[in-house]
Structure 1
């Protein structure tokens, strides 16, 4: 790879074998380097491949203007998240999370810390991601001697969620609110309190995450067995009725249609979770 731009001592831009512009990180990789030099493979620590040129440009601008320690923090948090979750995260998180942490540190120093209105929902529906947020706060305290509150852990968790599901922050907030509202509809419909520690509840929340994601990405379930759907709707009449309530809510508030197949699978989860709920 040939260097096209030296950002600083630790970052350079180059074109990979597919002629795609990438950002390369490595200790001293940009020191005394210049455009046209070959990137030393021995110095490469990480190659960042962004979605498009606009993302690459944003990433370069961040690396040029913010303190390197803020990026290092972000990098360590993301590496920990990958190991903990065991799955791929969208590379754009290096832009969004780094920018967020940099801004959060500035706000903290000015005494401008704001409550996160979705704190409870994030702790409830994204437990693994929230624990990563708590890890991030411990790291920030260790590296920067800044002690942030749990609202910030929730905000960091939502950035992790974005990278998991390939959504933007606006959709992540909508998805979190949608899940909370659907749980409330189920509780109200049956006049129960769902057991939030049960395996069935955990499976319901996982299903709702993917249902919400499909809705906001305008995707639908494919290759569905119509006979199976018919059997579910006839066998679980009450649960399907509850699903219809949820459908009405989604279509009214978000103007997204919910297919019969989606309702049928949702009814199955509602059946399971309602069986072990606590009456109000």
Structure 2
């Protein structure tokens, strides 16, 4: 694999014997190197292909505008987060997170810290990602001496969420988080109760909502023949939960012109019953 272009001491563009271009990252991999020389493969830490032209342009712009050290900070954060979350991220997070860190630090130095309107929702729905975001702030402080506000841990957490859902944009991730919060509020207001956010049923419900929202954005439904018998059974057995599901159904129709299938209604009703039943039974004893 030969060097085509050197960006800085730690990042270069290389081409293999099949003429495939790859961005190669590694500490000191381009130090005292020149174009057309062989890449020292023993120093390669990250290799990825920028399939889209716009990503190639963005990458070069970032390298020209952002100190190389910020890529190293992002790399340390990504390594930690993937290990802590047991996840594999899209490689484009190296671009998006580096860009975010650079912009966040510049804004912070100019006393323009941005408020994260979804901070509490992120803490509730993406607890592990938020915890990794908090550690990311510690890494940034150790590397730069700058203490970014907690709101930034929320923004970074969304980068982790976004990177685990291939092809999904950050704006979509934030919209999905807002929709999840709306649904939970519908349930809370309908039953006039708070939900136990530490319960297993709550975690199951939120997990279901996350994937439900992904299907919404892709205009997909759970595919089956539609079990009318089970639908009627669930409707009769859990009338309150089913009535709440109808409110959620109306919310999606009104807000997104999206019709929830019978199968989706069954799943939602069961989850709503589970997440509210124990709370109702505890309240009835007081």
- 1:108-160 CA-to-partner distances (Å, cap 9, x unmatched) read 11111121111111111110011011001111111111111111111111111
Evaluate the alpha carbon distance shift between residue 18 and residue 160 of structure 1 in structure 2; reply closer, same or farther with a 3 A threshold. farther
> 8 Å contact 1:22–1:56 — kept in the other structure?
no
SS of the aligned residue for 2:147 comes to coil
Tell me the residue number matched to 1:28: 28
SS of the aligned residue for 1:4 comes to strand
TM-score w.r.t. length of structure 2: 0.90
- 1:60-102 CA-to-partner distances (Å, cap 9, x unmatched) read 3212321112111111111111101112211111111110000
1:107-126 maps to which residues of 2 (within 5 A)? 107-126=107-126
Report the Cα distance in structure 2 between the residues aligned to 1:273 and 1:122, rounded to whole angstroms.
Answer: 19
> 8 Å contact 2:224–2:263 — kept in the other structure?
no
Report the Cα distance in structure 1 between the residues aligned to 2:220 and 2:33, rounded to whole angstroms.
Answer: 46
Instruction: State the 1:184 CA deviation.
Output: 0.5
Task: Choose from 246, 270, 274 the match for 1:268.
Answer: 270
Tell me the residue number matched to 1:43: 43
Tell me the residue number matched to 1:136: 136
SS of the aligned residue for 2:151 comes to helix
Report the Cα distance in structure 2 between the residues aligned to 1:16 and 1:268, rounded to whole angstroms.
Answer: 54
Tell me the residue number matched to 1:52: 52
Tell me the residue number matched to 2:202: 201
Report the Cα distance in structure 2 between the residues aligned to 1:251 and 1:16, rounded to whole angstroms.
Answer: 51
> 8 Å contact 1:243–1:267 — kept in the other structure?
yes
Tell me the residue number matched to 1:161: 161
Tell me the residue number matched to 1:5: 5
Instruction: State the 1:19 CA deviation.
Output: 4.8
> 8 Å contact 1:21–1:56 — kept in the other structure?
no
> 8 Å contact 2:8–2:68 — kept in the other structure?
no
TM-score w.r.t. length of structure 1: 0.92
RMSD: 2.1
> 8 Å contact 1:50–1:56 — kept in the other structure?
yes
Tell me the residue number matched to 1:187: 188
SS of the aligned residue for 2:135 comes to helix
